[in-house]
Structure 1
Amino acid sequence: MITASVALALTAPGQTAAMSVFIDPLIRELGISRTVVSTAYMFGSLSGALVMPFLGRLIDRHGPRRVMIAIGACFGAILIVASGVTEVFGLTAAFIGLRVGGQGALNLVATTTVAIYVHRRRGFAIGLSSAIGTAGISLAPVLLERLIVELGWREVWVLEGVVVLALVVPLALFLLPKVPPDPPREPAPELGGKRAAQLPEVDWTLREALRTGMFWTVAGGVGACSLVGTALTFHLVSLLGERGLSPAEAAATFIPQTLAGLIASFALGWAADHIGDRLLIISTMVVLAGATLGAGWLHPGWTTVAYGLALGTCMNGVRTLEAVAFPRCFGLRHLGSIRGAVHSMTVGASSLGPLALALGRSMADSYRPALLVLCLLPAAVMLAGAIVEHPPPVPPGRPPVA
């Protein structure tokens, strides 16, 4: 739990929340436009989408411990090297490394670790580690914004790299057990008349999971949150500046996001042990739609706080929900491959968000028209959540366990 929480928090340098405070300094020093930076960021995120399925298979084959050690070492080194970029091609390469290493690889192995090692009260365990980790991610922009002012963005990237190397690698090496425990197959205790958190009778393969509506509904919810949330966060200063907020006030919205993220991670983790996945997906999408609309109509004051609370709730809640839903639906043996495929879609979706919002802003006199279009994504997932069915205990075509 300690290792996964710290590793998740230290994905911050590759997450859009922390990256957002670097964007304007990068634009000023490198002399490039916001659309060019968004395009470079898109290529970085798309590269992460290509790597995630391969990484998921590595987790299934070698276990979270070895994979986390390798990823932590590589990610820390990438941050240090990225501090030397001088032009757009170097910046694109830096974005590739940061997004693959932080938002993709370290994020995937950190959240999968808890699902593999913890078998009882898995929802609560994932919610707890997610709450701690995402609190670090959400608070990072406030600290980094001050450090950039005092030290400069290059020096801050070096500092982040040193912290990742000093914490992630030793924790994974010395705290994670070398061999995960075998998952129990006896029926889970009944809660509220339903067997919550019971593993399926047979572990599903990725190919079998891809044939279910639940896989695509959960993946769609995570992808919608990733695309919309990345877009809103990447252009945070400009987006909220249009609504009358200063850069410091815009960065301060991460404080209510952190508070809401903590509550949502705990609440969704607990609820996932007691309530069906479909209701949780629909609820999360309702909050995401509200946050998307709110970004275009908020004003300095309580509406800004409400916006931060809503965005933090859906962004952190859906991460916990996905980490709990897939073990319950498809088992643990191929969990890395299944979650790797979803993270590939998620990273790909995040690559499109900033560019889509930047293009929408360039074609209108405000962000509002683009935000209205983005609201269609959570609406579509709500509809899917209302009609999808939970997968059976055994994949179709396979005999049941005797």
Structure 2
Amino acid sequence: MHSASDRAAALSSASPVAPSRAHLPRVVIAASIALALTAPGQTAAMSVFIDPLIRDLGISRTVVSTAYMCGSLAGAVLMPFLGRLIDRYGPRRVMIAVGACFAAVLVVSATVTELFGLTAAFIGLRVGGQGALNLVATTTVAIYVHRRRGFAIGLSSAIGTAGISLAPVLLERLIADLGWRDVWVIEGVVVLCLVVPAALFLLPRTPPAPPREPADEVAPKHAAGLPEVDWTLREALRTGMFWTVAGGVGACSLVGTALTFHLVSLLGERGLSPAEAAATFVPQTLAGLVASFALGWAADHIGDRSLIIGTMLVLAAATAGAGWVQPGWTAVAYRLALGTCMNGVRTLEAVAFPRCFGLKHLGSIRGTVHSMTVGASSLGPLALAVGRSMADGYRPALLALCLLPALVVLAGLIVRHPPPVPPGREIVD
């Protein structure tokens, strides 16, 4: 065993805390920019393109939903591979490559003229934005910032999600003035000019070494929020916490994507115009900002299970209430609740996995979860479209979707936090 003096000397020589704090502003800014510019591949921004695409390409809503599902499923297949690339090459180089590729996809997507091309465009947009850029942006903060990780992730998530949530309001006006093709080209140029320089000039070349022991003898064990050893993906897959967090993120992704993809139609059934429906992203943005900050802070002080349970209860209430909203305060309340859980669960997942499983294999672990999340999001729009076609309205399908967060709540009541060391593995001093 190491003596107290040995530990102090090791901590003094490594000095991991100061670099982590020095990196925080630069890392948060870079991650926020990257996360905000995932918007072109996120369902929130895509929702304002759906009706113009249906009209101009002459295809049905169900066909567009199916093409969107194919694009999302392709992203699900690639996410574990991207996670391994982050573990191997680091988030800085991966963010530069992903930003450049995503920008190219946006420009090329503006040329589609039929269903096959649209499906290919959806594949590129979902893989690049909702998948790759999203994963590397949220993983970057966890790798570079070790002290007050929850606060840092909450801050970057709040800023980035504000950009995502406000994008539909701006894009809806741009599409009306310029058309969807020109807007996709503009988005590609913006991604290239902001994401690549942010990664190149703001992210340090080498992340600081993560602290494994408290900075002083008074601090509680694992004060830095990391386990004693890094868990592998295979070891993490054997824990109930992994599947509970993954289930919560997946349920929020499936339900949130379905509600957002059919936003104009869903709220139109409740009496809101397309402009009014797009405007509801504003209260969702405000709720997302508050939720990201609040849950980022809470994640540094409150257990992961309690936060997951609370988030899923809010999601269930928002999903059920979507079928009964009316123009006015109920529509605002619905979007506030949806913004709270959709942004909150992203922050919780980004904090929970480093705390449970460490950093060495974080890309692989989060890439696997992201794969499940993207796959779940691919099913949501089609499930809600089919449910509506079978029942002359959205209400029955919405009530059925409430079962997903309810199951996660049940799991959260049962599982326990993983131990500091994987079962069957010993620490060698």
TM-score, normalised on structure 2? 0.92
Unaligned residue ranges in structure 2 (runs of 5+): 1-27
What is aligned with 1:205? 232
RMSD of equivalent CA atoms? 1.4
Cα offset, 1:187, TM superposition: 2.8
Counterpart Cα distance in 2 of 1:253 and 1:191: 48
Give, in whole Å, the separation in 2 of the partners of 1:238 and 1:48. Answer: 26
> 2:254, 2:357 → 1: CA distance?
25
Task: Work out whether 1:299 is the aligned partner of 2:326.
Answer: yes
1:280 is matched with which residue? 307
1:368 — aligned with what? 395
Q: 2:205 aligns with which of 178, 182, 197?
A: 178
- Pairs aligned (count): 402
Aligned residue in 2 for 1:110: 137
User: What's the CA shift string for 1:367-391, capped at 9, x where partnerless?
Assistant: 0000010000000000000110000
- Return 5+ residue gaps in structure 1 as ranges: none
Name the counterpart of 2:91: 64
* Contact 1:189–1:195 (8 Å) recurs in 2: no
Higher Cα radius of gyration: 2
Matching residue of 1:249: 276
SS at match of 1:314: helix
Structure 1: 4+ residue segments shifted above 3 A: 188-197
What secondary structure sits across from 1:353 in the alignment? helix
Match of 2:162 among 118, 122, 135: 135
2:420 matched residue in structure 1: 393
- 186-195 or 363-372, which moves further after superposition? 186-195
Please show how residues 308-387 of structure 1 align to structure 2 within 5 Å: 308-387=335-414
Q: 1:20 and 1:233 mapped to 2: Cα distance?
A: 7
Letter paired with 1:250: A
User: Residues 96 and 191 of structure 1: is their aligned pair in 2 closer, same or farther, counting only changes over 3 Å?
Assistant: farther
2-structure distance, mates of 1:168, 1:323: 20
- 1:157 aligns to what? 184
| 1:207-286 equivalent positions in 2, closer than 5 A | 207-286=234-313
Distance in structure 1 (CA, Å) of the matches to 2:223 and 2:270? 44
Give secondary structure in 2 for the equivalent of 1:296. coil
Q: How far off its partner does 1:365 sit?
A: 1.1
Aligned amino acid, residue 280 of structure 1: L
3-state SS of paired residue (1:297): coil
CA–CA separation in structure 2 for the residues paired with 1:371 and 1:41? 20
How far 1:195 sits from its partner (Å)?
A: 5.8
Closer, same or farther: CA 256–196 of 1 in aligned 2, 3 Å: farther
Maintained 8 Å contact 2:213/2:223: no
Deviation at 1:12, TM superposition (A): 0.1
State the partner residue of 1:44.
71
* Contact map agreement 1:240 1:250 (CA 8 A) in 2: yes
Q: Find the counterpart in structure 1 of residue 126 from structure 2.
A: 99
Alignment of 1:55 onto 2:95: no
The aligned amino acid for 1:168 is V
CA distance 1:171–1:193, shift in 2 (3 Å): closer
- The Cα shift of 1:91 comes to 0.2
Structure 2 residue 110 is the aligned partner of structure 1 residue 83? yes
